[in-house]
Every structure is written in C-alpha cells, then in structure tokens.
C-alpha cells in the first residue's frame, strides 16, 4: 500500500479521495459481478513448493489452534539476537472448514519465560505464496514489513515475543477480513502450545493497522465466541476499514492508479466464497488476462497490472449488482455490522478525515462497543493521510499495550 501513497494524496477534493483503495477493493468488484455469460472458475494460488506449508490429511481431526508443525528458520541480520520459528497450525476458513495456517515467531535473547507475547498483524497485499510473511522476511523486497523491522526491534529488545501470522490464509484470500481474525486467534493458541517458545502463560496483546487492523479488530470481536479460553490483555488497532459496504457506496467506476489492488481483493473474496462471489465468471477477456497475471503476485506487480484501469475495462457489464448473496459476503466482512463485542480492552486510532476509509464506521463501531461495556480508548491522529496516521499512532498504541502487559487498569474515553 505504501508504494501507492503519492498517487492517493495531493490536491484532489475530499469526496474524490474517498473513492480510493478501500472503496475500489470491495465496491468495483461487486459492480463487476452484475452479470455476464462466462463460466470461468476461481483461480487459486499455486501451492507453496515447500511441503511444510501444506495441510496434512488429518487436518479435519484437529482442533483450531492445534500445532501441525514447527520449524526453526535461519537468523536474520535485521533482527539481532533473535531466533525465528515457523509454526503451522489448524485454523478455520469462512465456510467453517479446517485449514492449515502459518505464523512466524520472533523470540529475542532477552525473552524471559512467560514474558509478553504480541501478535502483530501486518498489512499483506498479495495473492500468492511469495507474499507470506515468512517468505518476505528472507527477500530483499523493500516492502512495508521490512521497513517496520526497526519498530519490531524495539519490542524485541524489551523481551517481547512477536508472532506474525499470515492472516490471509493458505488461499491468500485478500479482502476476507473475518478469516483474518480467526487465523490470528488460532495462531496465538498455537504459539502458546509450542513448549520451546516458553509463552504458555504469557500475557497476550494484538496490534495491526489498516488491513492488519481489520484482522486485529475481528480477532478482538470474535474472541469471546471463537476463542473464549484466550486471556487477551489488550488489542490495539488503527485505520480499520470497519464497513466494506460503505466503501462500496462511495465507489466510482472509472480508472484508478491502484485498481489492481481492487481486482486482487475481489479475487480473494472469490477464493473464500466461490459459490457466493463468482467474480471470474463476470470478467471479460481482458479482465481474465489481468486475473491470470496477478494470481500469484504481491503488491508491486498487482498495482502495475491494474494501474490506470477500472471496472469498465475488465467487466462484461458495469451495471451495479443487485445480487443479495454477493452483497451478504461484503456485509459478513464488515465489522460495523457484526454484533460481537470485544471483552479485551481496545485501543483504536484513526485520522478524523482519512482519505481511504469511512471514518463514521469506526466511530459507530467504537460507540457500540462502549455501549456494550467494552473498555475503549479512541484517539485521532492529526493528519488526513492514512499511512502517516499509522506512523503517528503506533507509539501510543504500543505504550498502551505495555501498560496492559504490566497489569495496569485499562483506561476508557467512551
């Protein structure tokens, strides 16, 4: 996402800027699904060639959060005095079916037994295996994750164990937010079960921004029902797209510099809901060619494939969709519309005039959680820029989490 920052900012009117990545990511793809005569099946990513990443034959016999495998990875110069461990575990997809998922665990030399465990949900813009956290960490790709290494090192030097889940799942279902919450919770369950990591009784925190914030927020809201045994000290989330339907409603159908990410989100939803969101069936030849080109790609290649294009270029029709089942898929991944409430304290931050996401959906969700008795701190960052808000807000978020790890009573400004 950061690579697209310059094209999303500038002197465009606010109403036009609201028709940006978030809206494109869910709205354009639904307008594409308005009709067509094709019969193209969903295109899934090529399986990771490393058999460690595959689901075992008995995955259905396991419980969510059960450990399937553990692998020590080579040390990384960007994380001095830190071991890297890959943990494969059983999770659940949006259809309730068992899947194998992955989290990458950074354990510092300064770690003490049962010291703080932080699940850090990254922004993952990708559709293929090479976009996974564990893969990206061992490349020279100058992406967001590598640039965040200095911040991670601050946490590691404090003795925190940091878990980095691949919250898009094995099919890289980009856009499927609820799935990210389930994988995040199961990743925490699994990491606590690996004896060598020494975090069985650790206090647990979660943090994420934007797409990573969606996974974090969904994990917090789902935890009381999905993982009630987890004692989560706090969840910090920033710039969260709380309502994907509202993003749809601000949509324009014209060309856009990051339309490739919109198409990728539609393909990710199709992978997760193949019977209810049949996007490929609605694409024209040009759209299918673009789909095939990005089916295993990460941020830069996805953006390049769609730059300057829009729904008009890739769809067989551009009339708005009236299919209630497809709309329900978007609603199911809109946290403002989910009635679950976190039991863990929440720290939430956002720009008051964010050019990428509907701010009213954040405010409404915070208020609903407050009314239900949740302890919520909501802060506004003094910037209209989505990505700058991430940088400005993360120090306060991590400070808030540190206080939760030390057992301090959670404040609230409800």
Taking only Cα atoms into account, the Rg of the chain, rounded to an integer number of angstroms, comes to 20
What does the pLDDT read at residue 303? Answer: 87
79 — alpha (psi -120 to 50), left (phi > 0) or beta?
Answer: beta
What does the pLDDT read at residue 413? Answer: 96
What does the pLDDT read at residue 356? Answer: 76
What is the residue-level pLDDT of the chain in tens, covering all 414 positions?
333 332 223 333 333 333 334 344 444 455 455 444 456 889 999 999 999 999 999 999 999 999 999 999 999 988 999 999 999 999 999 999 999 999 999 999 999 999 999 999 998 889 999 999 889 888 876 554 556 677 788 899 999 999 999 999 999 999 999 999 999 999 999 999 999 999 999 999 999 999 999 999 999 999 999 999 999 999 999 999 999 888 766 545 667 677 788 889 889 999 999 999 988 988 899 999 999 999 999 988 998 988 888 778 888 864 435 678 888 999 999 999 999 999 999 999 999 988 778 899 999 999 999 999 999 999 999 888 888 898 899 999 999 999 999 999 999 999
Q: How many CB atoms lie within 10 A of CB 308?
A: 11
Q: What is the CATH number of the domain that holds 215?
A: 3.40.50.1820
The number of distinct structural domains making up the chain is 1
What does the pLDDT read at residue 17? Answer: 36
- Domain around 32: 1-414
Evaluate whether 364 touches 254 at the Cβ level (below 8 Å): no
What does the pLDDT read at residue 239? Answer: 94
Residue with tokens 């989560």: 232
Evaluate whether 189 touches 64 at the Cβ level (below 8 Å): yes
What does the pLDDT read at residue 235? Answer: 98
């Amino acid at each position: 996402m950061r690579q697209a920052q310059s094209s999303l900012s500038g002197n465009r009117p606010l109403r036009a800027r609201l028709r940006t990545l978030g809206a494109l990511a869910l709205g354009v793809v639904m307008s594409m699904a308005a009709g067509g005569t094709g019969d193209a099946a969903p295109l899934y990513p090529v399986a990771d060639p490393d058999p460690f990443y595959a689901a075992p034959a008995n995955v259905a016999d396991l419980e969510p959060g059960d450990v399937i495998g553990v692998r020590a990875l080579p040390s990384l110069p960007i994380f001095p005095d830190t071991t890297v461990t890959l943990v494969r575990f059983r999770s659940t997809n949006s259809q309730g079916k068992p899947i194998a998922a992955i989290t990458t665990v950074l354990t510092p030399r300064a770690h003490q037994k049962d010291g703080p465990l932080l699940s850090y949900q990254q922004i993952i813009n990708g559709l293929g295996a090479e976009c996974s956290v564990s893969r990206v960490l061992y490349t020279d790709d100058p992406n967001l994750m590598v640039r965040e290494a200095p911040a991670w090192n601050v946490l590691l030097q404090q003795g925190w164990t940091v878990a980095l889940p691949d919250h898009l799942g094995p099919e890289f279902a980009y856009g499927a937010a609820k799935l990210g919450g389930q994988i995040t919770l199961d990743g925490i369950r699994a990491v606590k079960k690996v004896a060598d990591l020494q975090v069985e009784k650790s206090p647990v925190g979660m943090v994420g921004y934007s797409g990573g914030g969606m996974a974090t927020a969904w994990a917090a809201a789902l935890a009381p029902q999905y993982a009630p045994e987890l004692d989560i000290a706090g969840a910090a989330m920033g710039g969260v797209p709380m309502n994907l339907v509202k993003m749809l409603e601000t949509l324009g159908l014209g060309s856009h510099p990051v339309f490739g990410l919109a198409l990728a989100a539609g393909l990710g939803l199709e992978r997760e809901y193949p019977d209810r969101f049949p996007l490929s069936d609605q694409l024209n030849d040009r759209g299918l060619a673009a789909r095939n080109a990005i089916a295993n790609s990460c941020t830069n290649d996805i953006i390049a494939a769609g730059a300057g294009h829009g729904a008009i270029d890739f769809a067989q029709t551009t009339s708005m969709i009236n299919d209630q089942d497809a709309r329900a898929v978007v609603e199911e991944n809109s946290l403002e519309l989910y009635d679950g409430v976190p039991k863990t304290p929440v720290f939430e931050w956002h720009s008051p005039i964010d050019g990428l996401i509907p701010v009213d959906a954040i405010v409404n969700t915070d208020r609903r959680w407050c009314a239900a008795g949740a302890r919520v701190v909501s802060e506004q960052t003094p910037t209209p820029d989505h990505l700058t808000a991430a940088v400005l807000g993360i120090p306060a978020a991590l400070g808030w989490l540190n206080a939760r790890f030390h057992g301090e009573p959670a404040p609230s400004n409800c």
